[in-house]
Structure 1
Amino acid sequence: MPRKSNANATTDALLAEFQALVADTEKLLQTSTELAGEEADRLRDQLRSGLHRARERIDAAQESVREHGKAAVDATEDYVGEHPWQAVGLAAGVGFLLGLLVGRR
């Protein structure tokens, strides 16, 4: 369970970051025609900062997903290596069920 809560926390943080980024972008677009000089520069800097934070979080999330995927692949390979006939039976059962579902159409 810790993996899921960590993944959910990462997802929530990413969503919050993107919502803030969208809000900043909308604010910049709405006021871009009215602003000049330092105010426009300040808003652009805020937007760049938001984009940079979002990019860093995306990179971190990508690495986390990659690590979890590699762990899942390793665990699957270990299980199949230790229990080959059970893996074949499971795959056959899943294939049979999918065949039944597709055949009903």
Structure 2
Amino acid sequence: MSARSVSAGNGISNEKLMHDMRAVVTDAEELLRATAGQAGEKVAAARERIQANIAVAKDKLIDAEHAMAEKTKQAAKATDEYVHENPWKAVGIAAGVGLVVGMLISRGR
């Protein structure tokens, strides 16, 4: 896996997705607590299904967080290896990116 295969945009959208999923799970748990006093066979069945789905969602969220952390570690390792193997190329790329960012910043003023 090369450092180029992990895009910054992907990381940001994955982090937002993880945040949104945690918010959904938290909201669903809050809804279950709020309706705990509701009686009825249909409500009890729905609560059981929702609790089971929340448990599955939590497990998948944990798995996704671990996978994202592993991909981040792999990308960092690949970047580190690339920089060690091509130090002058890395310096040139960093200088080029810095130049472009500097130009964009100065144009915005």
**TM-score of the aligned structures, taking structure 2 as reference length:** 0.63
List 4+ stretches of structure 1 deviating above 4 A: none
Tell me which amino acid in the other structure corresponds to 1:64: A
Which structure's relative contact order is higher, taking Cα pairs within 8 Å and 6+ residues apart?
A: 2
CA distance in 2, matches of 1:49, 1:41: 12
CA distance in 2, matches of 1:85, 1:60: 38
Alignment partner of 1:81 out of 80, 84, 88:
84
Question: In the TM superposition, what are the counterparts of 1:39-58 in structure 2 within 5 Å?
Answer: 39-58=42-61
- Structure 1 residue runs of 5 or longer lacking an equivalent are none
Q: Quick one: percent identity of the two aligned structures?
A: 37
Q: How many residues were matched structurally?
A: 83
Question: What is the alpha-carbon root mean square deviation over aligned residues?
Answer: 3.0
**TM-score of the aligned structures, taking structure 1 as reference length:** 0.66
Question: In the TM superposition, what are the counterparts of 1:1-105 in structure 2 within 5 Å?
Answer: 36-105=39-108
Measured after TM superposition, the shift of residue 40 of structure 1 is: 1.8
CA distance in 1, matches of 2:40, 2:103: 67
Measured after TM superposition, the shift of residue 57 of structure 1 is: 0.8
Measured after TM superposition, the shift of residue 70 of structure 1 is: 0.6
- Structure 2 residue runs of 5 or longer lacking an equivalent are none
CA distance in 1, matches of 2:40, 2:106: 66
CA distance in 2, matches of 1:97, 1:71: 27
